[in-house]
Structure 1
Amino acid sequence: METSLRYTSNSRSLKIHAKEKLLVNSRTRLQLHGELDTGTGAPSYFCAMIRYFNPEALTILGLGLHYNKREKLRCLVRGKMEFPVRTGVPVTFNVKGRCDFDQEFNQRNPKGAAEFAWSVMNFQEDQSVRLKVGYEIFEKVPYMQIRENNWTLNANMKGRWNLRYDL
């Protein structure tokens, strides 16, 4: 099980996030994840998703259900495709999108982004670094991510940010 501590600029409370990936077959996984809000002592959300990996096309597709207190049950579809920028260079151009729908499929919430990701394994001894710079298409906002081993900082040009520490 993967666990992390998360703090966001808009919630102002520490959350404990847990994720479990169960192997269905060599390309398909059932992913369960949820979050506990330490401020309220209650779960923030729970999600169950089937994820399919196509390594030849560098593609990931997902379909699942997401539950939280505010919006109740929602259906979720997501996809991501990677394009290597140059052979042998750890830089990729990623296109990703997701859309969640309410139970009646009336209200939808689309998100999509294009980003460059640069991963440097062993940047220094026992330290790996990943930098991402992208543009969220529907919100029309640039964003960035810096990941160093267990720490991840995400920020966008609208002033939103979050910090994550993987346990």
Structure 2
Amino acid sequence: METSLRLRGGGGLRIHAKEKLALGHNSLLQAHGEIDAGAAAPSYLALFVRQFYPQIAANIGVGVQFHKGQRLTYNLRAKKALPFTSDGLLGLNLKARLLTDTEFNPRKRTGAVELAWTILDFRKGQDVRLKLGYELYGKVPYLQLRENNWTLNAYMHGKWDVRFDM
């Protein structure tokens, strides 16, 4: 099980857990759960089936999720990587997500284009990944800086979050 501590600007500390179970060749069942540390109560639950297509560097996921204070939503997401280098350390990511209500009416759409650069052994034992992205529907540029277990996300409209993978 993968666990992380997540701190969101203005949102408090959350404890996140994720488990992946293989379903077959290039597919898995992925479960997420989150506890709001301040309220000591669950704040997010999700279950996804993901299918990977390594020959075209893409994946598709479909599932259900529940955020505290909201109704159950269905989630469809897709990601496509377009590597610029043969080792895949520099490339472009195309991401899309659609949330619907239980009647399949669209509730939220997101789409992003990211320039991703991974630097292995930036310093001894330290890998760094830098992503510069643009959220298409929200029209918000963002930056992600990841160093081994730490991730910082900063959005140009003032929001931010930090994650520590345990």
Code of the residue aligned with 1:5 in structure 2: it is L
Q: How many angstroms apart in 1 are the aligned matches of 2:37 and 2:88?
A: 41
- Aligned residue in 2 for 1:50: 49
- Aligned residue in 1 for 2:108: 109
- Aligned residue in 2 for 1:8: 8
Code of the residue aligned with 1:85 in structure 2: it is F
Superposition pairs of residues 72-111 of structure 1, within 5 angstroms: 72-88=71-87, 90-111=89-110
Structure 2 unmatched runs, 5+: none
Query: Does the residue aligned with 1:40 lie in a helix, a strand or coil?
Result: coil
Q: State the Cα distance separating 1:26 from its structure 2 match.
A: 2.1
Structure 1 unmatched runs, 5+: none
Q: How many angstroms apart in 1 are the aligned matches of 2:112 and 2:60?
A: 15
Q: TM-score, normalised by structure 2?
A: 0.97
- Aligned residue in 1 for 2:139: 140
Q: How many angstroms apart in 2 are the aligned matches of 1:150 and 1:88?
A: 22
- Aligned residue in 2 for 1:66: 65
- Aligned residue in 1 for 2:161: 162
Q: How many angstroms apart in 1 are the aligned matches of 2:38 and 2:160?
A: 19
Q: Which runs of 4+ in 1 moved over 3 A?
A: none
Q: State the Cα distance separating 1:69 from its structure 2 match.
A: 2.2
Q: State the Cα distance separating 1:85 from its structure 2 match.
A: 1.2
Code of the residue aligned with 1:7 in structure 2: it is L
Query: Does the residue aligned with 1:72 lie in a helix, a strand or coil?
Result: coil
- Aligned residue in 1 for 2:16: 17
Q: How many angstroms apart in 1 are the aligned matches of 2:38 and 2:164?
A: 18
Query: Does the residue aligned with 2:98 lie in a helix, a strand or coil?
Result: strand
Identity %: 46
Q: State the Cα distance separating 1:87 from its structure 2 match.
A: 2.5
Q: How many angstroms apart in 2 are the aligned matches of 1:24 and 1:88?
A: 28
Code of the residue aligned with 2:27 in structure 1: it is T
Q: State the Cα distance separating 1:72 from its structure 2 match.
A: 1.9
Q: TM-score, normalised by structure 1?
A: 0.96
Q: State the Cα distance separating 1:88 from its structure 2 match.
A: 3.8
CA deviations 1:94-133 (Å, max 9, x no partner) are 0000011011122420000001000111111110000000
Query: Does the residue aligned with 2:56 lie in a helix, a strand or coil?
Result: coil
Q: How many angstroms apart in 2 are the aligned matches of 1:93 and 1:111?
A: 17
